[in-house]
């Protein structure tokens, strides 16, 4: 891609960025509460978001700028294997329909704001609560950093270089998130999602017509993979199991993240969540269309420095400047919404499950809101520093651990909704086994998300997150049986009195 500044594209980009910035600050007056000095209001929008607001908000923080950049980039690099995100976003919504209404009901009745709150309420264990909270914050940080990568790619495509544009954009994000809380990304999500839909629909209609049709697109992509000697437009037999395990593991992890749970907790009721589980698959269609842009990059014969540049380069090559600017602003705004929700989710966890428990148990609701506001800004600064001072590839590699880590909170968060059989010590031991064991396995595999088991002449490759989850659950079950047996033996001993 060229790095000359495109004035037309830049003007369109600036217009939409200023528009959403104004909306972000205005959001504090939208659905105005008596005060935002309470986590229920600042961090959850008053728990009053209806079906359409929730649809845009959850879709906005689930389908991020990095999704717009990374999925086509992965398809461009490896072909059909990159489409694992498609079945994953199909599998996830039945799980949402089944589990999340019960989780919302529990949180609403008990005043829970975070996953850590829910776990403490179920098991009365500060240690397990802290483990879930720390995992949520740690797993979220790489995703916030990766929103910066998506924005960085879009800004670079405009011809802007250096660190000032990206720093300015995230300072603006930090300020209106501090001011308006969850209402800001909820309001901006309307604009962001509409813009993304316009961009994608225009691309999948216009781009193939300029490249000779979809037949020519697939033929060009297939030829490119054959020349490269890797990848392809169809999966080979050895990829079936790892593809399926990535899809399943990602689906199980998706709504364990603080930012997706924040969208659930902010909903007005269980029917809102069920309706969204039915409506949100519309974004899966969007994701499938986005992935095809990776194949179109091959058909266009793009010469790019990084796979992440494929979508911006495609728009610069095939569209007029003004529409390219519109597309780049959609990508950048697509970074703002999830980054804001992620920082709010992480701030809620830190405030409720660390600050209030271990630092200041007597903190007032207004004090909680203030701590969360400051923490949300510090989280963004930390993500910004990571991108500015660490190699981008490090952040991408670290992201591979995010799903593995957050998946280890599933037993503690979900099992307690259906059964009281598990004890907190057993779940804590399971979490430690899965978290530490999975991390070591990924580290030994060179930060790759898949692990291969060799059985004689047979090799089985599977998503490491699922391996860690199996270790987690097995440890918890075995230890829980031991604890239960010990309690039973004590109960039948004769009294010493």
The string of pLDDT tens digits covering residues 15-69 is 998 888 888 888 777 766 666 677 778 888 878 888 888 888 888 777 777 678 8
**Residues 6 or more apart from 453 whose CB is under 8 A from it?**
459, 460, 461, 462
| pLDDT band of 462, cuts 50, 70, 90 | very high
Structural domains in the chain, sorted by start = 7-393 (1.20.1730.10)
φ, ψ of residue 452 in degrees (nearest 5): -110, 125
Radius of gyration, alpha carbons of the chain: 23
Q: Is 307 a residue whose pLDDT tops 90?
A: no
| pLDDT band of 148, cuts 50, 70, 90 | confident
Beta strands in 87-170 (DSSP E): none
Separation of alpha carbons 207 and 185, rounded Å:
31
Separation of alpha carbons 250 and 465, rounded Å:
8
Separation of alpha carbons 75 and 310, rounded Å:
10
φ, ψ of residue 469 in degrees (nearest 5): -65, -40
> 450 with 239: CB under 8 angstroms?
no
Convert 89-117 to b/e letters by CB count within 10 Å (16 or more is b): beebbeebbebbbebbebbeeeebbbbbb
Separation of alpha carbons 222 and 232, rounded Å:
6
**Per-residue pLDDT at 27:** 78
Structure tokens, 41: 């209001």
Residue 358 per-residue DSSP state: I
Separation of alpha carbons 464 and 398, rounded Å:
14
* Selected residue with higher pLDDT from 119 and 170: 119
Separation of alpha carbons 116 and 348, rounded Å:
10
Give the range with max mean pLDDT: 1-5, 234-238, 431-435, 480-484.
Answer: 431-435
DSSP labels for 197-221? Answer: HHHHHHHHHHHHHHHT-HHHHHHHH
Q: Is 497 a residue whose pLDDT tops 60?
A: no
Give the range with max mean pLDDT: 193-197, 313-317, 474-478.
Answer: 474-478
What percentage of the chain has pLDDT greater than the value 70?
Answer: 93
Selection from 62, 107, 115 nearest residue 85 by Cα: 62
Helices (H), 255-304: 258-265, 270-279, 282-299
- Looking up tokens 């717009």, which residue turns up? 68
Structure tokens, 232: 């392809």
Mean pLDDT of the chain: 86
**How many CA atoms lie less than 13 Å away from 391 in the CB half-sphere?**
3
The SS3 of residue 451 is: strand
Which secondary-structure segment (H or E) carries 184? Answer: helix 183-211
> 43 with 347: CB under 8 angstroms?
yes
Give the number of residues written for the chain.
497
> 377 with 174: CB under 8 angstroms?
yes
Separation of alpha carbons 177 and 380, rounded Å:
10
């Amino acid at each position: 891609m060229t790095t000359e500044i495109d004035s037309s594209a830049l003007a369109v980009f600036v217009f939409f960025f200023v528009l959403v910035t104004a909306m972000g600050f205005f959001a504090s007056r939208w659905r105005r509460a008596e005060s935002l000095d309470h986590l229920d209001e600042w961090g959850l929008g008053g728990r009053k978001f209806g079906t359409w607001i929730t649809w845009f908000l959850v879709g906005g923080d689930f389908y991020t700028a990095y999704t717009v950049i990374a999925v086509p980039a992965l398809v461009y690099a490896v072909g059909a294997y990159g489409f694992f995100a498609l079945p994953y976003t199909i599998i996830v919504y039945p799980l949402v329909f089944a589990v999340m209404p019960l989780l919302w009901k529990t949180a609403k009745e008990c005043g829970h704001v975070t996953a850590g709150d829910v776990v403490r309420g179920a098991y009365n264990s500060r240690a397990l609560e802290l483990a879930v909270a720390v995992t949520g914050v740690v797993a979220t940080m790489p995703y916030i950093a990766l929103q910066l990568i998506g924005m960085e790619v879009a800004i670079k495509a405009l011809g802007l270089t250096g660190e000032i544009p990206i720093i300015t954009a995230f300072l603006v994000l930090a300020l209106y998130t501090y001011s308006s809380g969850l209402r800001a990304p909820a309001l901006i999500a309307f604009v962001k999602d509409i813009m993304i839909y316009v961009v994608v629909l225009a691309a999948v209609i216009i781009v193939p017509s300029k490249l000779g049709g979809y037949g020519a697109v697939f033929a060009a992509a297939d030829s490119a993979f054959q020349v490269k000697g890797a990848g392809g437009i169809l999966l080979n037999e050895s990829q079936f199991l790892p593809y399926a395990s990535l899809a399943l593991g990602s689906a199980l992890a998706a709504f364990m993240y603080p930012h997706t749970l924040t969208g659930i907790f902010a909903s007005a009721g269980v029917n809102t969540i069920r309706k969204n589980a039915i409506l949100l698959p519309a974004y899966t269609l969007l994701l499938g269309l986005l992935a095809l842009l990776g194949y179109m990059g091959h058909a266009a014969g793009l010469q790019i420095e990084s796979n992440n540049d494929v979508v911006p380069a495609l728009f610069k090559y095939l569209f007029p400047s003004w529409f390219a600017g519109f597309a780049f602003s959609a990508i950048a705004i697509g970074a703002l919404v999830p980054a804001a929700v992620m920082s709010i989710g992480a701030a809620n966890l830190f405030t409720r499950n660390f600050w209030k428990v271990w630092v200041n148990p007597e903190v007032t609701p207004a004090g909680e809101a203030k701590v969360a506001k400051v923490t949300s800004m510090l989280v963004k600064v930390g993500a910004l520093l990571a991108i500015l001072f660490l190699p981008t590839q490090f952040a991408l590699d670290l992201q591979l651990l995010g799903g593995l880590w957050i998946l280890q909170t599933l037993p503690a968060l979900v099992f307690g909704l259906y059964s009281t059989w598990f004890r907190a010590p057993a779940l804590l031991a399971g979490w430690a086994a899965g978290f530490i064991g999975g991390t070591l396995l990924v580290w030994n595999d060179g930060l790759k998300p898949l692990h291969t088991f060799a059985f004689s002449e047979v090799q089985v490759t599977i998503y490491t997150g699922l391996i860690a989850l199996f270790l987690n659950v097995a440890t918890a079950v075995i230890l829980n049986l031991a604890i239960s047996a010990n309690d039973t033996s004590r109960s039948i001993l004769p009294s010493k009195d």
